[in-house]
Amino acid sequence: FDAIEIITTKRDRRELSTAQIDWVIDAYTRGGVADEQMSALAMAILLNGMNRREIADWTLAMIRTGERMDWSALDRPTADKHSTGGVGDKITLPLAPLVAACGAYVPQLSGRGLGHTGGTLDKLESIPGWRASLSNDEMLHVIRTAGAVVCAAGTGLAPADKKLYALRDVTGTVESIPLIASSIMSKKIAEGTGSLVLDVKVGSGAFMKNVDDARELAETMVALGGDAGVRTVALLTAMDRPLGRAVGNALEVAESVEVLAGGGPSDVVELTVRLAREMLEAAAVPGAKDPEQALKDGSAMDAWRRMIGAQGGDPDAPLPVAAETMDVVAPSSGVLRRLDALSVGLAAWRLGAGRERKEDAVSFGAGITLHAKPGDTVRAGQPLMTLHADEAGRFERALTALEGGYEIGEAADPALFPLVIDR
């Protein structure tokens, strides 16, 4: 094979053979296909698509470039959850220890923030001492101690995806359903989980802006999981407004701890419990405990404390706090009609919760606390949200991002999605 022949095949809307896909993924990972050739191929795929057989071959080829983890030494079923990313989506933090407390093992490889969306590892790193990078032996130790481990994927896992993802990020080729589905599923299948629940986010704050695209992504990923022997279920959930009332790293850890203590915002609790039930069912855990019970009786909190402690973190240490705050007040009285997830995500990013460049550090204390959600009654002059940043100079740009991002009227916008749109 040669790269040009493969690029022109897809450019001319023809199907790639299994052998062509195997060759190009392997050669790209080892440096035999150049970045400019792979970016031309990625663009041809974005424009012309791939069929289910091509997507399955592409995913398997990416898995084969690295190691595949194995949890068969554990005596209980494994379950994982993956969210396609959103604003205020801290669900992994309460969910992983909750599902562990209910009887499954949760081996979760997570990522960092991307653009305006937050990353689980950045959030957990705001806990003093907590370490994201573990060896395979350490992962096994944490999962045996706490029932759950949330950590960074090692360099040996799907290296083709690491290289391709970085290339897509700078060549306008992220938003392709075949490329997103294969990227996510190659990592989750290589991670070795026995079952997987996908939380596919829909709305302004998500990669998928409408239900049809999200459904196609979900169906593609469910099929890939099933073919690989991973019991896979997907929910489509709302990301037209932020989840919960906290957006930003340490702020989201604090909110997650509230949920584990039996409190927390109702949407975060509802989605956490729903996803926990789906995970326990997909993993077929015998005699699983009810998730609501595990939040009430403190067993989920115990699992959280063990999980954080086993990764070097101090669950009792005070969390970082931003030096400066500023309230954004309601301009009039009425009902909050909308609170746009993308606007809030961009504002939190500009406050320092996310990175401008790949090598930047995030601010742990930065972010936004929401005092009203769509449907809440507000009075003119009442704080709608509080902005948190390490430098007051950041507020101006955050306020610009929030312009037009919220609206006060007579009732919540009827076009808002229900929290769980479909399964």
Query: Looking at the annotation, which residues are catalytic?
Result: 82, 161, 168, 183, 187
Find the shortest distance in angstroms from Cβ 325 to ligand URA: 32
Would you say 191 or 255 has its CB closer to ligand URA?
191
CB of 45 to ligand URA, least distance (A): 12
Residue 68 CB, nearest distance to ligand URA (Å)?
17
Q: Which residues contact 141 (CB under 8 A, 6 or more apart)?
A: 310
Nearer to ligand URA, 184 or 322 (CB): 184
Angstrom distance (rounded) from CA 204 to CA 343: 9
Question: In the bound complex, what is the minimum distance in angstroms from residue 81's beta carbon to ligand URA?
Answer: 14
C-beta closer to ligand URA: residue 220 or 369: 220
The least distance separating ligand URA from the CB of residue 400, rounded to whole angstroms, comes to: 27
**Which residue's CB atom is positioned nearest to ligand URA?**
183
Q: Which is nearer to ligand URA, 224 or 387 (CB)?
A: 224
Contact positions vs ligand URA (CB under 6 A):
165, 174, 179-180, 183-184
Using the minimum distance from each CB to ligand URA, give the nearer residue, 188 or 306. 188
Judged by CB, which is closer to ligand URA: 63, or 101? 63
CB of 117 to ligand URA, least distance (A): 9
